[in-house]
Structure formats: structure tokens, C-alpha cells
Structure 1
Amino acid sequence: MTSPFTPCRTTVPPPEGVRPREARPGHRRPRGDDGSAIIEFVWGGVLLLVPLLYVVLAVFEVQRNAFAVTEAAREAGRA
């Protein structure tokens, strides 16, 4: 007796002389969305990383110039 919670697994064999689709010559898998998620993730990462890197480098440049101005003012005061 089977439990009402276990699925019934019955398979119907193919008719005589019919091969599965994968075994037919010249058969190609239909193109779907396989692998597109990783491509979208990489593109999204690049599109977000490039502007973020630009902003970080710009902030570093501003900070470097601020330190240079501070140091120049300190040297001018000593002279």
C-alpha cells in the first residue's frame, strides 16, 4: 500500500521506433535563459564598479590636494 504523501511514479514507454528527442541526429537544445543570470550579474557588477571606482579615486585626489595645501600653508608660515 502506498502512502497518500508519496507521488505515484509511472512512466509510459515511447512507441516502437521512436527515439527520445536527445538521441535524434541533428537535435539541438532549445535556447533558453541558461547562463544569462551570471552574465547579467557580471555586467551589473561592472556597471556599478566603474563609477564607484571613479568616485573613490576622485575623493582620494581631493584629499591629496587638501593635504598638499595644508602642508604648503605650514611651510609658508615657517618662512
Structure 2
Amino acid sequence: MFEMVRNSIGLFFSGKLFAEPARAYTQLAIGILFAALCFILAARVAGLPYWASAAVAGFFGGALQPRLFRDLRYR
């Protein structure tokens, strides 16, 4: 199991994991920006402490990833 994870990480950083790397990086950036926006909104608007804002942002950002990566093709 660890060998598979290590191999996937190596392929990711060498740019050989996805058939369309630019699209994968775009989707990843969208997820990061969404999580950052959730963090800012939870901290500023809702007034939550930073640790709770991070938990909320992590939950919503993580929930969005399967939707963003749904149509990605791997090599």
C-alpha cells in the first residue's frame, strides 16, 4: 500500500500521473481557493476561532474534491 502511494506521489510530481496535467492543476487550484474562501468567511463573517474555521474549511474543501476530480483521466 505504501509503495503504491509513494509511486503515485512520484508520478504526480514528475507530471506523469494525469493525462491532462494542466486541467488537474486547475482543478486543484479551484479546490484550494474554495477552502481558503471558506476559511476567511468562517473566521471573519461567522466569527469562529481559527481552529474551528480551519475545520470547517477542511470539511467543505475536502467534500468538493471528488466533484472536481470526477472527470480527470489518469495515465
Question: Structure with the greater relative contact order (CA < 8 A, sep ≥ 6): 1 or 2?
Answer: 2
Range into which the TM-score falls when normalised by the shorter chain: 0.3 to 0.5
Q: Which has the higher helix share?
A: 2
Q: TM-score, normalised by structure 2?
A: 0.36
Q: Which has the larger radius of gyration?
A: 1
Q: TM-score, normalised by structure 1?
A: 0.35
